[in-house]
Amino acid sequence: MVKEMRWDKKLSSFNKHNHIFVKFAVSFLLLGLAFRLFTSDSIRISSPVETPPLAEQKTESPVVSFPIQAPISSVFPANESHTSEDVAVKCDIFTGDWISDKSGPAYTNESCQVIEGHQNCMRNGRPDSGYLYWRWNPRDCELPRFNSERFLDLMRNKSWAFIGDSISRNHVQSFLCILSQNLVIQMITDQKLHENVPQVEQAVEVYHDEEYRSKRWHFPAHNFTVSVIWTPFLIKAAIFEDMNGVSSSEIQLYLDKLEETWTDQYRNFDYVVIGGGKWFLKTAIYHENNTITGCHYCPGKNLTELGFDYAYRKALQLVLSFLTRNDQKAFVFLRTTTPDHFENGEWFSGGYCNRTVPYKGGEIDIGDVDSIMRSIELEEFEKAATVGSENGVILKLLDTTRLSVLRPDGHPGPYRQFQPFVKDKNAEVQNDCLHWCLPGPIDSWNDLVMELLVNGEKYR
């Protein structure tokens, strides 16, 4: 850490913007380093199904780190609403609070087979379970629970894709877990099974890439396909990280080229949940029109600091333009940035997230970085939704940022590792305050997806 701290001091003179930007830049540098370590552990994860002792393996690794967030600011009014028009008629399902729900999660670590080791908080020994008993309650309308049976019924012969970084993978696991939840009920009412009427079924993994970052599952009885595609920037990027996540060079980011890993497959998808963000905080050299046009955090390189927000906006514009002008008329959810909850330190300095209950509205604000990202997302979404509707593409905002900000209790914390305190109850353990426990708050994202899917016209 010594080297990084020294860099921090240099940053203030390097920066041409106001002091808030300096604060960001400091965070970003650390974040860049965090992500380097972070990638080795969580992003390049192997299949939980095929390599069960994942958590045990990873406990060997002494340094695993997580990204950080800039300090909380008050740019997040408690009653902010993005549905400026028709407020009286239409409901904003993203404004509300978390209320106690005794019925608990739709699945458990026992009933779902696809939970990645690092997010399997129950198995990893998280002692409290209160975080499982909350549901998202929009202020002005009811949010029904995800209905797997109805969903699968609607999805015969259809294909979904979750496109983005490791948060998208976190999301797809929740999605698959919820979809396969009724297995237990199925076994109880096995008369139905004998009648050969599949209600809800287990997904079969039919593809994974070499690093298990992108995968595809098939639900045979419904001929329903679900893919997750790892493309952390969505646009073309050259990332020079080895399998341990150690970076040998700056990321080269091509702001006018899309990443082909997802665009090449796009014609196969009927529904898409796409999102990104956090990777744009890393040090990167920006290319446009086959020339280097600047960078984000590259001191000593004599390049123009363009800021991550510049690159993120360009990337989103390119992505949304591709989606809304495509011959493939998919139903697209744009997911907004996801917050983390490190407290009393950052990922590298003992930051942790040991709260056990949600915040109430007004108790917490969105962080500066997430606020900037979400603003870009909202602005670009507004423009793109209009283009989309002219071209027969439905574009929905999946604005999960604010409801997720209220759930500091939903992260694995030290329980990203298997039984971290079994050998030594004072063990120093890295905390994950970015990804979400499964089951956990991220399950509600799917309730929102279902509602937008079946009753979308009610909302926006």
SS3 251: strand
Choice among 165, 365, 432, 443 that is catalytic = 432
> Hey, which residues between 232 and 291 contact ligand NAG (CB under 6 A)?
288-289
Binding mask 166-205 for ligand NAG (x = CB under 6 A): ----------------------------------------
The answer to whether the beta carbons of residues 272 and 332 sit under 8 Å apart is yes
Nearer to ligand NAG, 101 or 270 (CB): 270
Choice among 159, 371, 435, 447 that is catalytic = 435
> Hey, which residues between 140 and 169 contact ligand NAG (CB under 6 A)?
156-157, 159
**Would you count residue 428 as binding ligand NAG (CB under 6 A)?**
no
Residue among 134, 179, 163, 145 nearest 404 (CA): 134
SS3 299: coil
Distances in Å between the Cα of 238 and the Cα atoms of 194, 253, 298, 375 are 52, 7, 16, 27
Q: Least distance to ligand NAG from the beta carbon of 218, Å?
A: 9
Q: Least distance to ligand NAG from the beta carbon of 428, Å?
A: 12
Nearer to ligand NAG, 71 or 220 (CB): 220
Binding mask 298-317 for ligand NAG (x = CB under 6 A): ----x---------------
Q: Least distance to ligand NAG from the beta carbon of 246, Å?
A: 28
Q: Least distance to ligand NAG from the beta carbon of 285, Å?
A: 14
Q: Which stretch binds ligand NAG (CB under 6 A): 23-31, 233-241, 349-357, 430-438?
A: 349-357
- Beta bridge partner(s), residue 228: 162, 215
CA distance 344 to 408: 13
Distances in Å between the Cα of 239 and the Cα atoms of 165, 175, 243, 323, 396 are 14, 29, 11, 24, 30
Binding mask 17-56 for ligand NAG (x = CB under 6 A): ----------------------------------------
Nearer to ligand NAG, 18 or 289 (CB): 289
Q: Least distance to ligand NAG from the beta carbon of 225, Å?
A: 7
Q: Which of 110, 142, 195, 457 binds ligand NAG (CB under 6 A)?
A: 110
Q: Label residues 310-337 b or e (16+ Cβ within 10 Å = b).
A: bbbbbbbbbbbeebbebeeebbbbbbbb
13 is catalytic: no
Q: Least distance to ligand NAG from the beta carbon of 394, Å?
A: 18
Q: Least distance to ligand NAG from the beta carbon of 79, Å?
A: 4
**Would you count residue 354 as binding ligand NAG (CB under 6 A)?**
yes
Binding mask 58-87 for ligand NAG (x = CB under 6 A): -------------------xxx--------
Nearer to ligand NAG, 377 or 409 (CB): 409
208 is catalytic: no
What stretches of 180-217 show up as alpha helix (H) in DSSP?
183-188, 190-194
435 is catalytic: yes
CA-atom Rg of the chain in angstroms: 21
Q: Least distance to ligand NAG from the beta carbon of 159, Å?
A: 5
> Hey, which residues between 119 and 138 contact ligand NAG (CB under 6 A)?
122-123
CA distance 36 to 65: 8
CA distance 350 to 10: 24
**Would you count residue 356 as binding ligand NAG (CB under 6 A)?**
yes
Q: Least distance to ligand NAG from the beta carbon of 353, Å?
A: 9
Amino acid at 394: I
Cα 101-69-452 angle, rounded to 5 deg: 45
The answer to whether the beta carbons of residues 443 and 175 sit under 8 Å apart is no
Choice among 65, 166, 168, 371 that is catalytic = 166
Q: In terms of DSSP bridges, do strands 394-398 and 331-335 run parallel, antiparallel, or are they unpaired?
A: parallel
- Number of residues located near ligand NAG, criterion CB under 6 A: 17
Q: Lay out the sheet containing 159-164: strands in order across.
A: 204-208, 215-219, 224-230, 159-164, 271-274, 331-335, 394-398
The answer to whether the beta carbons of residues 98 and 135 sit under 8 Å apart is yes
Tokens representing 59 are 């406990």
Nearer to ligand NAG, 109 or 401 (CB): 109
Residue among 125, 116, 118, 123 nearest 38 (CA): 118
Q: Give catalytic residue positions.
A: 166, 432, 435
Contacts with ligand NAG by CB under 6 A lie at 77-79, 109-110, 122-123, 156-157, 159, 223, 288-289, 302, 354-356
